[in-house]
Chain A
């Protein structure tokens, strides 16, 4: 789950205003899926059964497989990320393609179907798509040839250039003509000039940087270490680190959700042998840190509906079938649960 999924309501709107890379197409009438909650279901490895569900939180009506319903064909990929930029919805499949749909009705607008290996996320800048990609696995199951793929058309097409970056790039975020890349495996933030399609700077950070988010025009980065998480901010005039803050939240997975009150909800997992999952709460500008705000097992995604102050926790149910969403209130009480698609991994609140 990527930053774009965490940009909630107002934050998302502010992004649209702030970043010049966002297009200024004529206004279009709101579609059914322009409101509500989009639930990203990753799908199961080898099955390519990723899909998007839509929830109307007012009526609790849940629509399954909205991509297939709109286009008469399955999504056919493992859905890694959803990015809503340039008045388009980009569905990134880590199986090697990007589908581009109308955000209102999910009708297909285009696609990138070749030249990619394991795409992770995307941003639109200078009228182009920049797609982070792990690159191919080598014989040792490593990804030494990671890159940012450039597609010179926001409606898809062919990959025209691959910009080499550090191993396993994840999230991307645009600022002006520049793009910041979270290099998760080598602990780097790399800066790309979108116009020149070149890597112009590399910043060393601690841990495994995975997610960018934006508050009041500032860009922040979430990075996780074994026993703590680190939140960085940047000087956007020269792309240097502005602030670095460490917080004692152990076993963070890299999946986070940001509330309107600037509180991060962070998925954690102890891993082997006890497999204790949980949610840590980190007020970015407060002091009431709660490393174990909520505990359970099988957590695979998290989101926040700020309008209702409800936390959405996705459980993949072992990928044996469909996943389950548990909705919590601020007091950790279960409001409701419902089944969604296979491997639910993220949410987009609209």
Chain B
């Protein structure tokens, strides 16, 4: 029943050397980025952590609970991540190990990734091209959906009603035996997004109702987990997603753009456990269709790879493998294909329980280009460990890279086939202190991104060039604490990040942006959450502060800082027969703050969300 226990029984004590991670009631070999990512900051959310976000998008989760800045063009509109001042395309996004970023755009829209569709999420900060491959420059997002071996069946129906004519329906069913586990989720979101906002573009700045921001998203995710035999397992998942969006125009525009996104994602992982090693084979397919105002753009990626993990001693472990990616783009102005081959190797040495060192290497080729060898190395050292507290030092350095997107190379007119990959160097150091249920971490980082691609007007059209060089330095602090007062259990988390991301090389020697903070990159961000629970009743408060953002590279115009507060109350004590009926009321933007993340793109004010669930 428990995979690792089963493997442990089969292989004896050697299996203990494999790093493992808890996942519901099953334990599996953890991903390579967790086992060989020594020295790098990471944040991880379990299935339980994600429960409060079941009707929200990945963008909402990261806004609330990470230092990643989300450039949101409105509720349900494009939401792209910025890790440590990097661009949206400098974030690698994976689902069950399959890259999700569009090969034509080079980024993902986080508003189209519902949290309900996934069971785990984690962030890796900094450049880790050696471990994660293409696009892991500022950081990476790893999502996982997986059926758990719970040896029971369950069914969940959840319905949320919200302000502004929005509602969401989620259905999740799972069945599980000893050898086979199946899970399926269906979701449907309708967001009229008819929220009031002050229209700054009109004389008198009247309050108006947003009338072109309707979003409909629906999808189905099915995960199959099959224990084929005592030492073989197969996991496969399929995710269909569709979104229809009226594109909310900026204030001052009356455009009526409409966008449809459809995605078919499939992943398969086949693992074979041997005495001192594991073999893993992976395949996946991502097909996306984007129709903007009737103009269709299609892309597909097929991935085939394998990896071998070897544990010769308790202190040593190795991970090596290769991956082939076939990319095809059939867009409105061009059609192109791309083949990528990469090989990777990682090694970890843990001379004591307190010290681990890792070295990672990756070599990637695409078309007739070869990306220079990508290295990465890190160290975790618990230099103080006492009965109730520990102090850990993390140090890492690594390179990242981004292959120019299909649009960068082939868009007509303007595509530039001569573009070089963007590349980065990242070093970081962190201290992690834990004392009982109180923990704090402080991370310093410095990153250089070179050959940064920007599109510039060239006569009557725009064309991309490797021009910009950017330096990003900063500090990230976070902490958490659990405590009890009387009958109340408290959980508190807080964070603060300081980032300085500036251009070192611009479009000319006199480029006024040189030395100035990158646009839409706040220097200061902070967050604080507090949860109190008494038996089956809980209340959660979440606050966020986002500092001022510059609109353009040379910084003459800024957007004001904003402070947001959310409040949630939930009760899980209702039930009818065997059906549990959890209830939740959530108030977002409690203070009704008027704010824009992106210039002239108004965000909604206070909204109330009521959720009722039926769980069997």
Contact = CB atoms under 8 A, between A and B. Distances in A.
B506 A320 contact: yes
Contact of A137 (B293, B454, B508, B556): B293
Contacts of A44: 552
A204 to B, nearest CB: 24
A43 to B, nearest CB: 9
A271 B600 contact: no
B534 interface: no
A116 B293 CA distance: 19
B511 interface: yes
A272 B459 contact: yes
Interface stretch (B173-181, B251-259, B281-289): B251-259
Given A48-B252, A320-B506, A322-B512, A76 B293 contact: no
A139 B294 contact: yes
A214 B200 CA distance: 37
B554 interface: yes
A74 interface: yes
Q: Is the interface of A mostly helix, strand, loop or mixed?
A: loop
Most chain-B Cβ atoms within 10 A of its Cβ — which of A74, A75, A108, A111? A74
Given A271-B458, A275-B458, A322-B552, A114 B254 contact: yes
B555 interface: yes
A76 B600 contact: yes
Interface in B289-329: 293-295
Interface stretch (A81-89, A93-101, A257-265): A93-101
B554 A48 contact: no
A73 interface: yes
Contacts of A272: 413, 458-459, 461, 463
A284 B18 CA distance: 84
A263 B200 CA distance: 41
B201 A76 contact: yes
Interface in B243-294: 250-255, 293-294
B201 A73 contact: yes
Interface residues of A, number: 44
Given A320-B454, A321-B552, A322-B552, A111 B203 contact: yes
A339 interface: yes
Contacts of B293: 137, 139
A318 to B, nearest CB: 4
Interface in B313-356: none
Main SS class of interface, B: loop
Nearest to A47: B599
A271 B252 contact: no
Contacts of A319: 456-457
Contacts of A116: 254
Interface in A54-98: 64-65, 71, 73-77, 93, 95-97
A293 B598 CA distance: 42
Interface in B184-235: 200-203, 205
B250 A76 contact: yes
Given A48-B251, A275-B458, A321 B201 contact: no
A153 interface: no
A108 B494 CA distance: 46
Interface string B543-564: 0000000011111110000000
A93 B200 CA distance: 15
Contacts of B252: 48, 74-77, 93, 95-97
B511 A317 contact: yes
A320 B294 CA distance: 29
B142 interface: no
B511 A47 contact: no
B566 to A, nearest CB: 29
A36 interface: no
Contacts of A111: 202-203
A76 B460 CA distance: 24
Given A95-B250, A116-B254, 12 more contacts: A73-B200, A74-B600, A76-B200, A76-B201, A76-B600, A95-B253, A110-B203, A270-B459, A317-B507, A321-B512, A321-B553, A339-B512
24 contacts: A48-B201, A48-B251, A49-B552, A49-B557, A73-B205, A76-B200, A76-B251, A76-B600, A77-B201, A77-B252, A95-B253, A96-B253, A97-B252, A111-B203, A137-B293, A270-B459, A272-B458, A316-B457, A320-B552, A320-B553, A321-B511, A321-B556, A324-B510, A324-B512
| 10 smallest beta-carbon distances between A and B, as pairs | A321-B554, A76-B252, A271-B459, A76-B201, A321-B553, A318-B456, A139-B294, A95-B253, A96-B254, A77-B252
